[in-house]
Amino acid sequence: MQLNRHQLLLLAFLTLVWGLNWPVMKLGVTAYPPLTFRALCIWIGLPVLALLMLARRTPFRVPRDQYGEVLRLAMTNMVLWNVLIILAVKYLSSGRSAILGYTMPIFSALLGAFFFGARLLPRQWLGVAAAALGVSLLLWFELTHLSGQPLAVLAALAAAAIWALGTQRLRSTTLGIATLTLSFWMMLITAVLITLLCVALEYPQWRAPSAPTWAAIGYNAVLVFGFAQTAWLTLARTLPPIASTLSVMMIPIIGVFAGALALGEVLHWQDWAAVALMVVAIVSVLAPNRSAAA
């Protein structure tokens, strides 16, 4: 399908902001408790989103009978994704985290095939195999080095799988509320639950953030949670998966090279191979077939 100008601008904005955010997140959590970092980002981002809603006169109210669905969507699209991925970023390079986090389209394709009635073509199964090989390379690298973090790899993969489930549910939801309203309440639920985890797990580590950490918090609060999160939800609710192919391909690539340039992260051959395999996998899974196009 053809994307209009507004949708193309949203995709470009989302790709750049999320791609650059991987080294930004790594900078933020390197010397700061990761869950506390994420909670601060969301709490500060909430007023930004609220002001946007007020400017556009978007209602905050959610009908009582839809509370449960909003909570379920929040758990898969935001709460579990944010908790698992920020813990993974703490122990992995930003580039490696980006590659693993953006296995989401592969998990989405598998979930669609097994649980949502979608049918995968042979070339799409080949794409799933390519993604599995790329992930295996990264996992093998982590397992064969004394400083490796295989549990962080598994956390990033779990985050991607849960996000994929959330995206599938988001596309099939019958909620009649505006995307901005849904985004606000999902962010609020996420902020509350992650704050409770912070109190339980990270309270002894609490301290004032440094200047670089505040910069990373500001980037996430304003650009990621204030705008990009809602942009993604808008695209996920209104467009089929194929429409975001370019964005999904480019975000981990931007994350890998931004981390190498900004943070001096060393790229090993496994990283290069994983990037190439992920691009092949995503194109194979998401690219339209000729008969569908016809």
Residue-level pLDDT at 14? 86
Q: Which residue has the tokens 């395999």?
A: 277
Higher per-residue pLDDT: 242 or 117: 117
How big is the chain, counted in residues? 294
Q: What is the pLDDT of residue 280?
A: 77
Query: Taking the mean position of all CA atoms in its chain, how far away is CA 285?
Result: 18
Range with lowest mean pLDDT among 1-15, 59-73, 162-176: 1-15
Mean model confidence pLDDT for the chain? 84
Categorize the per-residue pLDDT at 287 as very low, low, confident or very high, splitting at 50, 70 and 90: low
Structure tokens at 153: 């790899």
pLDDT in tens, 135-169: 777 767 766 664 567 888 899 999 999 998 888 88
Which pLDDT value is given to residue 79?
A: 96
Q: How far apart are alpha carbons 161 and 132 in whole angstroms?
A: 13
Per-residue model confidence (pLDDT) at position 293: 45
Asked if residue 84 has pLDDT above 80, the reply is yes
Tell me what pLDDT residue 247 has: 57
Tell me, what's the pLDDT at 248? 67
pLDDT for residue 288 is more than 90: no
Q: Which helix (H) or strand (E) holds 118?
A: none
Residue of 209, 257, 226, 236 whose CA lies nearest to 20? 257
pLDDT for position 135: 72
173: which DSSP letter?
Answer: -
Q: What is the mean pLDDT of residues 11-29?
A: 91
Instruction: Name the band, by pLDDT with cuts 50, 70 and 90, for residue 25.
Output: very high
Domain boundaries, the chain: 5-293
Helix axes 179-201, 229-238, angle to 10 degrees: 130
Q: What is the pLDDT of residue 290?
A: 55
| CB-CB contact of 81 with 158 (8 Å) | no
Confidence band for 36, pLDDT divided at 50, 70 and 90: very high
Q: Give the angle subtended at the CA of 274 by the CAs of 138 and 143, to the nearest 5°.
A: 10
Question: Which tokens go with 207?
Answer: 């301290």
Share of the chain above pLDDT 70, in %: 85
Q: Token pair 């073509």 is at which residue? A: 121
pLDDT given at position 257: 85
Lowest-confidence pick of 11-25, 90-104, 192-206: 90-104
Question: For residues 200 and 35, what is the distance between their CA atoms, to the nearest angstrom?
Answer: 11
pTM: 0.82
Give 186 or 104, the one with higher predicted confidence. Answer: 186
Name the more confident of 118 and 192: 192
How large is the average pLDDT for residues 104-113? 76
The confidence score (pLDDT) of residue 15 equals: 84
* pLDDT exceeds 90 at position 123: no
Report yes or no: 87 and 155 within 8 Å, Cβ to Cβ. yes
- Per-residue pLDDT band at 251 (split at 50, 70, 90): confident
pLDDT at 195: 97
DSSP letter string over 88-145? Answer: HHHHS-HHHHHHHHTTHHHHHHHHHHHHS-----HHHHHHHHHHHHHHHHHHHHHHTS
DSSP 8-state code for residue 240:
-
